[in-house]
Amino acid sequence: MKELVQKALEKIRPNLQADGGDVELIDVGGGRGGKGKTHGRLSRLSDGPDDAQKRIEKFLKQEVPTVKSVVSG
């Protein structure tokens, strides 16, 4: 599953970088969730890192349906 999540993040990474940020996959645990860390502007946006996390989580759930949650680490 980690490889699937990593591939999905590679798809969204250009959009994140265009916004001045990036995301790092830290861990995929229990086959149902993942832990990641936002970098750059994503971690300082006015709508906050939680909103960026929600957008990334929504995208990952669409790309890898077995993902149930994403937490920031």
Write the pLDDT tens digit of every residue in 20-66.
Answer: 888 888 878 765 666 777 777 665 555 555 677 788 888 988 998 88
Domain assignments of the chain as residue spans, ordered by start: 2-72
Q: What is the pLDDT of residue 10?
A: 92
> Among the CATH numbers 3.40.50.920, 3.30.300.130, 3.40.50.2300, 3.40.50.300, which is that of 2-72?
3.30.300.130
Q: Which residues contact 28 (CB under 8 A, 6 or more apart)?
A: 1, 2, 5, 34, 35
Q: What is the pTM of this model?
A: 0.74
Does 17 score more than 80 pLDDT?
yes
7-44 exposure pattern, b = at least 16 Cβ within 10 A, e = fewer: ebbeeeeeebeeeebbbebeebeeeebbebbbeeebbe
Q: In the prediction, which pLDDT does 62 show?
A: 93
Q: How crowded is residue 70: how many other Cβ atoms within 10 Å of its Cβ?
A: 23
